[in-house]
Amino acid sequence: MKHIWISLILIVLALLGIFYGFRQPQEMADEEEDLIVIGMSQVGAESDWRVANSESMKQVFSEENGYRLLFEEARQKQENQFSAIRRFIQQQVDYIVVMPITEIGWESVLQEAKEAGIPVIVADRKMDVEDPSLITAHVGADVYAEGRKAVIWMEETFKDQPQVNIIHIQGTLDSTAQIGRTQALENGLAANPNWNLLSRMQGDFTQAKTYEVMTEYLRSVDSLPVIDVVYCENDNEAFGAVEALESFGYRCGPGGVAVISFDATREALQYCRNGKIALEVECNPLLGPLVEEVIQILESGQELPKTNYVPKEEVFTPQDITDELLEQRPY
């Protein structure tokens, strides 16, 4: 009888050992600390806006605030975002937050997250999926509306000019910010017969790529054209465009090229104040608090609207920019 009891105790101990042995030390620590675990997949660090966006997320999803953040940067590659999401599923995180590089191609990986019962919150850019149940919520700006603000400014500024020569630098193709801002310009071109698109190039939201494509273009033309507007789809593209234009002898500012940009980061506002950027349309990168709001609503079991646009985005021209504004700009 004594032997039977000892065997039973040994079996129970072995089972307990197997159970705890399979569990990750991290998982056990999280349980103890009672943190909400967030798996977050970021596009990369292609722009100043993106860096500010990552910073905002890290600030909000800190241990002091009750979270464990597993943060992965995808270096501008969708495959890297897929792998990160799959790792988060394996780690059984509580929520997955994705800032997607492009809109398409997400169905399979989102289906896997849904089957694992993990809510997916999409931030900044959107995902284009047929089944809306794959996404719990979207937090981000209305980028078409941003583009419209730029187009309205162009219509007003150049209304008496018989021909307006425009260069368009697009962001990462198939990303929401590119699609919306490009669509607004397309509609402006269709509605204003005096607008003449000289060239359209891909700047991939980076300064280096924009400098390269702009320089190539200016080298390739027989004679340097009159350029009235360079419509850049973000600030880093605007920096690259200004650099290239100036190296070919163009002047950016009143009476010269009007560079239009989106984001309104501190450095770009400085360019705008100096006149090198004629118009800044704000795109707010500080999405951390809004994503947290969504997670807190979900935690409390309340109903959630699927789309939460970022409220209040402004437009700046050189005369709007004061020392105070620059000092207080958080990014």
Residues binding ligand AHR (CB under 6 A): 46-47, 49-50, 124-125, 177, 205, 234, 262-263, 283
DSSP result, 155-216: HHHTTT-S-EEEEEEE-STTSHHHHHHHHHHHHHHHH-TTEEEEEEEE-TT-HHHHHHHHHH
Residue for token pair 């419209």: 148
Looking at beta carbons only, is 89 or 236 nearer to ligand AHR?
236
Looking at beta carbons only, is 89 or 97 nearer to ligand AHR?
97
Please, what is the minimum distance in Å from the beta carbon of residue 290 to ligand AHR? 14
- N-terminal to C-terminal alpha carbon distance within the chain: 73
Take residue 25 and report the two structure tokens written for it: 């030390």
CA distance linking residue 173 with residue 168, whole number of Å: 13
Nearest to 101 by CA among 38, 178, 39, 37: 178
Please, what is the minimum distance in Å from the beta carbon of residue 49 to ligand AHR? 3
Please, what is the minimum distance in Å from the beta carbon of residue 29 to ligand AHR? 34
Nearest to 250 by CA among 280, 281, 221: 221
C-beta separation of 264 from 282 below 8 A: yes
Looking at beta carbons only, is 125 or 138 nearer to ligand AHR?
125
Looking at beta carbons only, is 177 or 244 nearer to ligand AHR?
177
Please, what is the minimum distance in Å from the beta carbon of residue 271 to ligand AHR? 14
67-73: strand order across its sheet: 67-73, 36-42, 95-98, 120-123, 137-140, 307-309
DSSP result, 235-275: HHHHHHHHHHHHHTT--BSTTSBEEEEEE--HHHHHHHHTT
Looking at beta carbons only, is 118 or 268 nearer to ligand AHR?
268
Looking at beta carbons only, is 17 or 330 nearer to ligand AHR?
330
Take residue 200 and report the two structure tokens written for it: 């359209």
Please, what is the minimum distance in Å from the beta carbon of residue 12 to ligand AHR? 54
C-beta separation of 275 from 109 below 8 A: no
Please, what is the minimum distance in Å from the beta carbon of residue 146 to ligand AHR? 8
Strands 279-282 and 67-73: unpaired
Please, what is the minimum distance in Å from the beta carbon of residue 165 to ligand AHR? 24
Please, what is the minimum distance in Å from the beta carbon of residue 177 to ligand AHR? 4
